Structure 1
Amino acid sequence: MKEIKDLFIENEYTEKISMAVINGMLQAVALNMFWQPGHIYASGVTGLGQIIVTLSEDLAQIQLPMSVVLYCLNIPLFILAWFKISKKFTVFTMISVFMTSFFIQIIPVTALSDDPIICAIFGGAICGLGVGLALRGGLSSGGLDIVSVTIRKMTGRNVGSLNIIFNACIIMTSGFLFGWPYAFYSAFSIFVNGKVVDMVFTRQKKMQIMIVTTKPDAVVNEVQKRIRRGITILNNAEGAFNHNQQTILITIITRDQIPVLQVAMRKSDPKAFVSISENVTIMGNFYEPLD
């Protein structure tokens, strides 16, 4: 079992594609089984797509497939990501959005509850779980994520206010067009969605790692091969029990990188002592991979 787990962690493409499939299924379940039947509007580009589909049915009597609308809305963003972020990031984002559109198309719209509060809670939670898992796998779910990453890469600034403003517009538009009670339900669902994403996606949680080892070169090489992190080396440490000479290595990683660290330690020095301090405060630059 360890070999299979290690292979899964080491094979980046397998993990990313698996997370894209899971994210697509969960987002489709949230949309087709809770949001659509409960007339709840999602955040971001998905919410915009819902408004377009609803208006096309009400005003033009044209039934547009939500899956097609969602993918088409993301196409300009794919182009932006291709030129401004990276080709690898864009390809996996395209796969992620395709899987979401695919499952939206094949999973029938089914009303599991007529209660809009239940639809808002479970729709937001299921979608948040999918997005959180995708982010943990290094994926983007498309939409405003691409715009946010582009601005962060170009300016170095986080732009959470962009999501807030866009989602506020979605909520206000849905309230104006389809009734204010559903605008409040939509806002509540977006809130639940964000909370679940924060619970699942732990990359923002920093961990200080202290490693006491007799094989510092092997550990440093193995860790840096798998995780792009600086490591501070403290030589000539002495154990109080047997007075052996050891080396202390100190680094900072994110919570989602702990499984990769475990693999690196098993391969380089299984007998090393590893101490982990949670939720440390970081000042200065800390590398955040974008793809």
Structure 2
Amino acid sequence: MAARFTRILTIFISSVLIGFAFNMFLLSHKVLSGGVAGIAMILGLLTSVNSGTWIFLLNVPIFILGWMKLGKRFVAVSLFSVAVTSISMGIIPVTKISADPILSSIFGGVLAGIGTGLIFRAGGSTGGFDVVSMVLTQKKDLPLGSLIFGMNAIVVFISGFIFTWDLALYTMASIYVTGRVIDAIHTRHIKLTVMIITSKGDECKEKLLSSLVRGITILEGEGAYTKDKRQVLIMVISRYELTHVKKMVAEIDPRSFINITQTVEVMGYFRRT
């Protein structure tokens, strides 16, 4: 129950942070975000309807698609995020914090990236192209932020044709910064190979298998100096699972030896969710 409350609170605060970044840093200089949010910003700047309202309306058909592909829980959490962002954009005034559009583009991108990355880590999304990207990353190990950046390129060209190409370049800088920050926070695509050398291999194996949906390969080992028999457990995990794995192994065998290396590529079956 506490974990669920923390997750919802994280999504709420992160969504408000995104709305703050949009209104106070980006929209005030006519700098856009990426994807559906960027299109909504264009519509908001060209019409009398608030950009937050456009964000919600444009996400409706995307959430219908996500409902079928990603499940009800994911869509419900993402819908909550989009709703909070839309409401916050309607409440927070569009005001310039900085008169420099370059600084506003960078800091707005950083804040939007932090909010989006935290929402991803909490199991939700900010809607739009994020939902499409989440579907794709279930099938391929692609960096989520970079993927979104690639899909958002069209917004830059729209900005250039409708406004000015200077604003389009500011938009590109903001989207790039957002993508890099997302990749720094949302690290599920990073895989690690963990080698656990322990005298309590069976206990560690049972503990890990009961808590993780991961395969484990077990080798028999022997200490070169002590001649003591050891078991070597080898497994590939996501970066999110590392802290959990270390904690479980330490509980079973505090004297175990763990070697952790980053994995360049995984071939074969690997559960990606």
TM-score range, shorter chain: 0.7 to 0.9
Q: Cα distance, 1:156 vs. partner?
A: 5.9
- In the alignment, is the contact (CA less than 8 A) between 1:131 and 1:197 conserved in 2? yes
Tell me the SS of whatever aligns to 2:124. coil
What is the aligned partner in structure 2 of residue 107 from structure 1? 92
CA shift digits 1:166-219 (9 cap, x unpaired)? 523222222222222111111111111112222222222221101112222332
Paired residues for 1:164-183 under 5 Å = 166-183=151-168
What is the aligned partner in structure 2 of residue 59 from structure 1? none
Tell me the SS of whatever aligns to 1:274. strand
- 2:217 & 2:59 partners in 1: Cα distance? 42
Is 1:82 aligned to residue 73 of structure 2?
no
Report the residue type matching 1:49 in the other structure.
A
Q: Cα distance, 1:147 vs. partner?
A: 2.0
- 1:245 & 1:55 partners in 2: Cα distance? 72
- 1:276 & 1:193 partners in 2: Cα distance? 29
Unaligned stretches of 5+ in structure 1? Answer: 1-6, 57-62
Paired residues for 1:208-287 under 5 Å = 208-235=193-220, 237-287=221-271
- In the alignment, is the contact (CA less than 8 A) between 2:197 and 2:232 conserved in 1? yes
Distance verdict in 2 for CA 1:239–1:86, change over 3 Å: same
What is the aligned partner in structure 1 of residue 132 from structure 2? 147
Length-normalised TM-score, structure 2:
0.87
Structure 1 runs, 4 residues or longer, greater than 4 Å off: 155-166
- In the alignment, is the contact (CA less than 8 A) between 1:207 and 1:279 conserved in 2? yes
What is the aligned partner in structure 1 of residue 26 from structure 2? 35
- 2:187 & 2:153 partners in 1: Cα distance? 26
What is the aligned partner in structure 2 of residue 20 from structure 1? 11
- 1:120 & 1:157 partners in 2: Cα distance? 29
- In the alignment, is the contact (CA less than 8 A) between 2:45 and 2:51 conserved in 1? no
What is the aligned partner in structure 2 of residue 60 from structure 1? none
- In the alignment, is the contact (CA less than 8 A) between 1:128 and 1:194 conserved in 2? yes
Tell me the SS of whatever aligns to 1:32. helix
Distance verdict in 2 for CA 1:102–1:224, change over 3 Å: farther
Residue from 110, 134, 143 that aligns with 2:119: 134
Q: RMSD of aligned C-alpha atoms? A: 2.7
Unaligned stretches of 5+ in structure 2? Answer: none
- In the alignment, is the contact (CA less than 8 A) between 1:16 and 1:92 conserved in 2? no
What is the aligned partner in structure 2 of residue 65 from structure 1? 50
- 1:249 & 1:193 partners in 2: Cα distance? 38
Distance verdict in 2 for CA 1:163–1:258, change over 3 Å: closer
Report the residue type matching 1:227 in the other structure.
L
- In the alignment, is the contact (CA less than 8 A) between 1:229 and 1:287 conserved in 2? yes
Q: Cα distance, 1:14 vs. partner?
A: 4.1
